[in-house]
Amino acid sequence: MKLTKKIIGWHDFQGSVDITDPCYDRDIWCRKNDVSIADGEYMCITWIYRKRGKHPDRCIAIIGIYLDGCIPDQKDMEIIGQIGVDAELAGFFHNKPDYDDSQWSDFCDKLRDGDEWITEEGFWSSSGYDDGCYPVYASKDEIGVINALEIRFI
């Protein structure tokens, strides 16, 4: 499967991330909370799958964050768990707040254009083909500190 890299921008996650569908509150079982990562600026990338043919299709296959823009080989990354997706969105947040109805409505208003977003809250994208359970992969440096993360939708 051929994927196209799309660099969305850079974000400083301040040493930890919540990996989740943004609709979930902190106490939901299918999030990964407070995952410790190396401090620094992370390049935020989506990897796009394009189905060719009579009925072309495009979806985000992978969303990832990479310290200093260093992208590890996928085969060298290890699975660290899974997350659930229910709003067809997932990503990486530093201390993602629990939203009340009004805040969730405001959050959703940001989603009018595109399939991926970076804001002060974090970096997230649409989730491949739909809702479901998706694996989270990590790359670690020589002392075991996470320096790259991916959610693989396809």
Tens of each residue's pLDDT in the chain, 154 residues? 789 999 999 999 999 999 999 999 999 999 999 999 999 999 999 999 987 765 557 789 999 999 999 999 999 999 999 999 998 899 999 999 999 999 998 888 877 777 899 988 899 998 877 889 999 999 999 999 999 999 999 8
Predicted confidence at residue 97, as pLDDT, reads 92
- Torsion, Cα of 20, 22, 28, 31 (10° steps): 0
3-state SS assignment for residue 134 = strand
HSE, CB side, 13 Å, CA atoms: give it for residue 153: 27
Identify the domain containing residue 105 by its residue range: 3-152
Q: Kindly list the distances between the CA atom of residue 62 and the CA atoms of 4, 58, 125, 132, in Å, as whole numbers in the listed order.
A: 10, 12, 9, 14
Distance (Å, whole) CA 33 – CA 72? 23
Predicted confidence at residue 112, as pLDDT, reads 72
